[in-house]
Amino acid sequence: MARRKKIYEGKAKTLYEGPEPGTIVQYFKDDATAFNAEKKDVIEGKGVLNNLLSEYFMVGLGQVGVPTHFLKRLNMREQLVRSCEIVPLEVIVRNYAAGTMSKRLGIAEGTQLPRPIVEYCYKDDSLGDPLVTEEHIAAFGWASQQDMDDILSLALRVNDFLSGIMYGVGIKLIDFKIEIGRIYDGDFQRLVVADEISPDSCRLWDIKTEQKLDKDVFRRDLGSLTDAYSEVARRLGLMPNNPASITKPTLIN
């Protein structure tokens, strides 16, 4: 069997050359990292859950007209995506204060923000993905003004979509991070939502109990990460409610 070409290995995913030109296979690993990889572990099943959840969100976004890089899920751990050039920014949308915003501005976690706030971080692990302004982005040529208008619009559309989906299953979307890819169609460039959307890159709290159902469970040692991610998948209808009932063989007469 021919060995496929590895293009990139990140903290949570490995990218391989896809079967057609312009495609990539995105493999979801079980590795979990936090605090710029200072904390590391292998969480069995995380990759499978993120693959399923990211597929669900990307397909849904496509259905409401938000372009993404997603083509199809290939198996439990892999999905086929369109190859794109990643804009070197992490685009963060916040509905409630948490994480670095709470630390930076001294706002209690869980405080509802007056409106969604979009932040940009420069994607560079060696610098710890620093927060940057649109001035930095323009001055250093990371994205044009037109790109920034499109990125803001994409980020807010993703926020509306994800907030609605989550609210429907009793979960508050506190914040999330997306990455944006450029796809070239002849002379034209399109911006699409790329990378993944999963509990690794969102903060998700149960509406009633405020129980955390995202990567903060790992970052802050709050219990089982797979239980938290499975709960999100279960509420979205991506997992059977009672796995035992379908794993049991049934005698057919």
Q: Which is nearer to ligand 5GP, 31 or 129 (CB)?
A: 129
Residues of span 214-253 touching ligand 5GP by CB under 6 A: 215
CA angle 130, 132, 133 (to 5 degrees): 170
- Closer by beta carbon to ligand 5GP, 4 or else 103: 103
Q: Contact between 129 and ligand 5GP (CB under 6 A)?
A: yes
**Least distance CB 216 / ligand 5GP (angstroms):** 8
Residues 91-120 that bind ligand 5GP (CB under 6 A): 92, 98-101
223 or 240: CB nearest ligand 5GP: 223
Count of residues touching ligand 5GP (by CB under 6 A): 15
Closest CA to 78 of 6, 10, 139, 26: 26
d(CA 53, CA 235): 11
Q: What is the DSSP string of 143-182?
A: S-HHHHHHHHHHHHHHHHHHHHHHHHTTEEEEEEEEEEEE
The residues in 57-96 that bind ligand 5GP, with binding defined as CB under 6 A, are 90, 92
Near ligand 5GP in 198-217, by CB under 6 A: 200-203, 215
The residue (of 4 and 40) whose beta carbon lies closer to ligand 5GP is: 40
Q: Closest by alpha carbon to 112, among 131, 94, 93?
A: 94
Strand ranges for 43-88 from DSSP E = 70-73, 78-82, 85-86
| Residue ranges that bind ligand 5GP, judged by CB under 6 A | 90, 92, 98-101, 129, 175-177, 200-203, 215
